[in-house]
Structure 1
């Protein structure tokens, strides 16, 4: 056992740090790049339960650096070491891989997968292709970085990892699982650095509250792209307001969601602005300002002029339509129209019933027969009889006197005699 291995074993062989499990199918590799060290489990089905970690190191063994952080001029060479520790019960042969640094959509640092060729600093490394690490041992692996002469100034992130591929019966026959754990490498080349970001795909969507007496929300989404050559964060401020400044609300996010953005990468983030009333057009303004990301290198970081940290402002307009209020108004109008139509129909039915009753009464009166006329009593003109001679006056004829009784009887419906009844004459 070498002196370096013995010293690492006596110190526990497990420097402090977070633990990671990397499991993936063929062509889908998982990388856990940790600040100090990580542990990858190949899976419960793997023989010997392979567990290992990778960390920064000095020639004597693991050290307390979180990541590799270098500042190097074009054409310079950097020599350093990485420690690979086998925490399992069987010896393992690890492959040593380097590649360009990237960020996942969730904002975690990673490197390109093994099937992708390095396009930047991931191809500047010289490191042995494999390393054999006995069970419970730690091996220090040296590496060299050669910076090209014609390299552009700025940040060139990369990563160095140890990988192991094991068979996985759970994934099916012939399928392997590659586990890899590594350390991040920050490499900055001095020169004319440009801390610049672009703001694209800014959208704002209004969501009303179902409570008609409460304001709604504006959901704002936007994409921040590092189009400079320096790793930066992004200070963000989002402001929304309705017409005449109604509901003016500002959300200061700091660097939330865009804590670190390496050159050439993008990040999409969202924020909700509450307290916006649906009163028509809503103007949303997004302000993003690049902020430098500090480095841990003992050589010092490249100074960034604050004048270069210019903010980017983009404004969009969306319509906040009061759908809930319009629905309530529509319901109220329908209720009013319904009540009015109901009253109108009731009035029309009543008028129709009255007209029908009048028509039926008139028809009944027209069809009723006329009453029979009462019989008229015969009128007999009085007859004047000649008075006895010598008197010179006319005496009424007793026989011509009409008894009024028959007429009265006839008028009352009694029997009428055949002829006038003569009063008896005197002897």
Structure 2
């Protein structure tokens, strides 16, 4: 079964970004092998291999203790009419500014899961109508810090675009989730909080407050957060009741905050 696709593209002179949502599988559209093909044609697909680790998986998910290792495989199928030659590599994942999962590009060194995954073949050629199984090894170092890691194993095709003077990189990849065994310490910090009041100097006039803050995962596990904010004081109360010195200024209203 093919993993669900995510549409995005990138052009680069020396690098290109893989950008995608934090979903089960990360897929980017590819540049066709044939110059006569349409620019958005996809000629190959990737999927997880069916083996003792599972079947019909939409991603690779492992729990491995420090010093441990395992072998799994990626299957690449060519649906085009020409052979396709692809690079195969792994990359560390990171959270982009908009909260999405991204992967380091091939020329940026990985320090964690991207460095711990080694494909058996760094370059493969897949004939039309055929598929190729690419085994890879996940080896966690003895000194690896316990916790959750995210990355991906990627197939990449780079073709020069003579008209634009750049290389066009199209990649298909599948997310890899890894939990390194040991003590888990989930923790979340709210940082750089800024409150902007949309009203004037009159505290009795209604207005909205905009709260901007940064959520920082300071622990070693993946965390899902549901942000909410609370504003207290006379301005918060004036939306529904007149405020006087006899009225308690501790009235508060809860509102949804803006994440950054």
User: Shared fold by TM > 0.5?
Assistant: yes
- Aligned partners of 1:72, 1:250: CA distance in 2, in Å? 42
TM-score normalised over the length of structure 2: 0.80
Partner of 2:79: 87
Q: Confirm or deny that 1:185 pairs with 2:176.
A: yes
Partner of 2:64: 72
Partner of 2:136: 143
Partner of 2:241: none
Partner of 1:132: 125
TM-score normalised over the length of structure 1: 0.51
Partner of 1:288: none
Residue 39 of structure 1 deviates from its aligned partner by: 5.7
Q: Confirm or deny that 1:23 pairs with 2:14.
A: no
Residue 237 of structure 1 deviates from its aligned partner by: 2.1
CA separation of 1:71 and 1:81: change in aligned 2, threshold 3 A:
same
1:253-264 mapped onto 2 (5 Å cutoff):
none
Task: Report the RMSD for the aligned CA atoms in angstroms.
Answer: 2.9
Structure 1 gap segments, 5+ residues each? 1-13, 254-267, 271-427
Partner of 1:408: none
1:215-230 mapped onto 2 (5 Å cutoff):
215-230=206-221
Partner of 1:200: 191
Match of 2:155 among 162, 184, 189: 162
Residue 245 of structure 1 deviates from its aligned partner by: 6.0
Partner of 1:119: 111
Residue 66 of structure 1 deviates from its aligned partner by: 1.6
Q: Which has the larger radius of gyration?
A: 1
- Aligned partners of 2:15, 2:62: CA distance in 1, in Å? 30
Partner of 1:35: 24
Partner of 2:253: 249
Aligned residues between the structures:
238
Question: Larger relative CO (CA 8 A, sep 6+): 1 or 2?
Answer: 2
Deviations 1:94-134 (A, max 9, x none): 00011111122222222111221111121011211111111
CA separation of 1:171 and 1:234: change in aligned 2, threshold 3 A:
same
Deviations 1:304-351 (A, max 9, x none): xxxxxxxxxxxxxxxxxxxxxxxxxxxxxxxxxxxxxxxxxxxxxxxx
Deviations 1:44-79 (A, max 9, x none): 99454553222212259x942121110011111111
**More strand per residue: 1 or 2?**
2
